[in-house]
Chains A and B, each alone.
Chain A
Amino acid sequence: MNQFQCQAEIVRMEHLTSDIVRMTLQAPDIAACAIPGQFIMVKAGEGCDPLLRRPFSIHQVIGNGRVQILFKVLGKGTRLLAGMRAGMALNLVGPLGRGFSLESREGFCLVGGGMGIAPLYFLARELQRLSRPPQLVVLLGARTAAELAQLAEDFRELGVRELHLATDDGSLGHHGYVAELIPRQLGRGGDDWQLCACGPHPMLQAVAKEAKSLSCPCQVSLETMMACGISACLGCAIPRAGLSGAYLHVCKDGPVFDAKEVAWL
């Protein structure tokens, strides 16, 4: 198994907004084998409060042994992480879980909402590096223009031409939810396309619904509470589609699932 526990030096802290942070860590072992959609478990602080590690999707792997995570300050753990400075170190475990399948398709449509945009950047980059890169459409949503601007710019710099945005307050792009942009992009026949989505649960549910009506295969990256990330605690269960009462585990069976595997409650 290509999994590691390591002390990783923080190389760079970027505060994209007052509460969104991009952190770059020196973690060569993890960087060498991570694939898009996988995650790392990060211990915030040395003590026992907060006690548990926090899971973060890998936002980007940079050539010289570096990985990036992207997060919004929401609680004690992320507040501690946001207060770290370059030169400090964090303990990481990873890379973990099942990532996105990059199986050959005519095109990929990536749909990201809020911090769910994080793994899609890594995915977009890897898709473009394929020997025969597929067509790429990227749809990004957030609450406000401020939350979205920098991330959208990053995708543009990556050379993504089909980039469409949505904000809850209408301050940038479509005024509404990002999932609403899907039919316009994939209406021309989606069955040889692949949807890949990550974001809040209601957004993923909407994406899964669109995928179904367009008969387009759809991979979703899910997030749950998680104690260990290595399928020991079994805390990250989600209901599986079909067989009532059976569960999937986000850390091991996911975090990326075929949308059809999941019971969308």
Chain B
Amino acid sequence: MNRPDLRISIGSTVFSNPVLTASGTFGYAREFEPYLNLHRLGGVVVKGISLSPRKGNPPPRIVETACGMLNAIGLENVGLERFISEKMPYLREIGTKVIVNILGDSLDDYRLLAARLSEVEGVHAIEVNISCPNVKKGGVAFGTDAAMAEAVTRAVCEESGVPVIVKLSPNVTDITLIARAVENGGAQAVSLINTLLGMAIDSRSRRPKLANIVGGLSGPAIKPVALRMVWQVARAVQIPVIGIGGISNATDAIEFFLAGASAVQIGTANFVNPGVCDEVVRGIEEYLVEHRLQGIQGLIGALIVDC
């Protein structure tokens, strides 16, 4: 039997396999060079980039919780221009697809970021973070209001020459409403889930464990929530769904494909095992061979529901 076909497409971009890194958990890729073969990854989603550099939140920024962690990094990043001049030269050389995660405070921020980045050589797609930032007026988060989510998606798609992925927040009543709005706005894919808003308290000091008081929960603890949301969204939209949330090994990834994901992103697991992405790619390949599937397409949405 030939090696199974792991390729997937998002818009015009073809990925050699469906394993990507989640934004904010893989730095700018170079940090992981000692631990895996970067060219074997399907793609790298780099740390979220804003127009200007951001310093991030005061410490403590992270705390471990049961089977997970809370973070309130505060979107610390080097900013658009330093990213292009300092980080892109390396990223162009690693032989894998590069997806740039963008974040802004206004529609104009997103437009400018998309326009500038999509003309940079070596940027293969843009992932729009609408899960964290607030709008200038009113303070309604882009990611929790369907009309806003659609507007920001449309703004980015108008400016971008590369495929646009929109990353969805799980902190909403019905994630399928946001997913459909984003699809209407022109997104070529959705990725989900971003972190779940959470909190940790130190009973001895009676204080919050994070300086920011609340933070985003990630890691194995959130996998069941993520699987459920991926399954719901995959049935609600026509565009590819990228599954994210607590994936630590190939078996976890396969569960997301069965739920309807066309690709996966690995996040917190990179902190625990810096070589994990390589292992997941190999594990998926082995699973396909073992189950006599010719490619990953045969697995996407192949959940069997007996009833």
Which positions in A face B, CB cutoff 8 Å?
A: 1-5, 43, 48-53, 91, 93, 224-228, 230-239, 245-247
- Known contacts: A1-B33, A231-B31, A247-B55. The answer to whether A225 contacts B60 by CB under 8 A is yes
Tell yes or no: B73 within 8 A of A by CB: yes
Tell yes or no: B89 within 8 A of A by CB: no
Which positions in B face A, CB cutoff 8 Å?
A: 24-27, 31-35, 55-64, 66-69, 71, 73, 76, 219-220, 248, 268, 270-275
- Known contacts: A3-B34, A247-B56. The answer to whether A50 contacts B71 by CB under 8 A is no
Contacts of A235 in B (CB 8 A): 61-62, 71, 73
- Across the interface, name the chain B residue whose C-beta is closest to A50: B64
* A93 adjacent to B55 (CB under 8 Å): no
- Known contacts: A48-B220, A51-B219. The answer to whether A233 contacts B71 by CB under 8 A is yes
* B55 adjacent to A245 (CB under 8 Å): yes
CA distance in complex: A91, B59 (Å): 28
Q: Shortest CB–CB separation between residue B290 and chain A, in angstroms?
A: 23
Contacts of A237 in B (CB 8 A): 56-59, 61, 76
Contacts of A233 in B (CB 8 A): 24-25, 62, 71, 73, 271
Known: A228-B274, A230-B31, A232-B27. 10 other contacts (CB 8 A): A5-B273, A52-B271, A227-B62, A227-B271, A232-B271, A233-B25, A237-B58, A239-B59, A246-B55, A247-B76
Partner of B34 from the list A1, A51, A227 (CB cut-off 8 Å) is A1
* B76 adjacent to A51 (CB under 8 Å): no
* B34 adjacent to A52 (CB under 8 Å): no
CA distance in complex: A234, B71 (Å): 10
Contacts of B59 in A (CB 8 A): 224-225, 236-239, 247
* B219 adjacent to A234 (CB under 8 Å): no
- Across the interface, name the chain B residue whose C-beta is closest to A250: B59
CA distance in complex: A53, B274 (Å): 11
Contacts of A53 in B (CB 8 A): 271-272
Contacts of A5 in B (CB 8 A): 34-35, 273-275
What are 19 A-B residue pairs whose CB atoms fall within 8 Å in the complex?
A3-B34, A43-B273, A48-B67, A48-B219, A51-B64, A51-B67, A51-B268, A52-B69, A93-B274, A228-B270, A230-B31, A232-B27, A233-B25, A233-B62, A234-B61, A235-B71, A237-B61, A237-B76, A246-B55
Contacts of B219 in A (CB 8 A): 48, 51
* A232 adjacent to B76 (CB under 8 Å): no
- Known contacts: A52-B272, A230-B31, A232-B26. The answer to whether A239 contacts B62 by CB under 8 A is no
* B76 adjacent to A228 (CB under 8 Å): no
Q: Shortest CB–CB separation between residue B225 and chain A, in angstroms?
A: 15
- Across the interface, name the chain B residue whose C-beta is closest to A49: B67
Contacts of A231 in B (CB 8 A): 27, 31
Partner of A225 from the list B34, B63, B66, B274 (CB cut-off 8 Å) is B63
- Across the interface, name the chain B residue whose C-beta is closest to A231: B31
- Across the interface, name the chain B residue whose C-beta is closest to A2: B34
CA distance in complex: A235, B58 (Å): 10
Contacts of B25 in A (CB 8 A): 232-233
* A4 adjacent to B271 (CB under 8 Å): no
Contacts of A225 in B (CB 8 A): 59-64
- Across the interface, name the chain B residue whose C-beta is closest to A251: B31
* B68 adjacent to A51 (CB under 8 Å): yes
CA distance in complex: A56, B72 (Å): 24
- Across the interface, name the chain A residue whose C-beta is closest to B223: A48
Q: Shortest CB–CB separation between residue B156 and chain A, in angstroms?
A: 25
* A228 adjacent to B61 (CB under 8 Å): no
Contacts of A49 in B (CB 8 A): 66-67
Q: Shortest CB–CB separation between residue A249 and chain B, in angstroms?
A: 9
Contacts of A93 in B (CB 8 A): 35, 274
Q: Shortest CB–CB separation between residue A170 and chain B, in angstroms?
A: 27
- Across the interface, name the chain A residue whose C-beta is closest to B275: A5
CA distance in complex: A53, B35 (Å): 15
Q: Shortest CB–CB separation between residue A202 and chain B, in angstroms?
A: 15
* A3 adjacent to B76 (CB under 8 Å): no
CA distance in complex: A239, B275 (Å): 30
- Known contacts: A231-B27, A235-B71. The answer to whether A3 contacts B64 by CB under 8 A is no
CA distance in complex: A30, B25 (Å): 24
Contacts of B271 in A (CB 8 A): 52-53, 227-228, 232-233
* A239 adjacent to B58 (CB under 8 Å): yes
Contacts of A226 in B (CB 8 A): 62
CA distance in complex: A237, B32 (Å): 19
CA distance in complex: A239, B34 (Å): 28
- Across the interface, name the chain A residue whose C-beta is closest to B33: A1
* B31 adjacent to A4 (CB under 8 Å): no
CA distance in complex: A50, B73 (Å): 21
Contacts of A3 in B (CB 8 A): 34-35
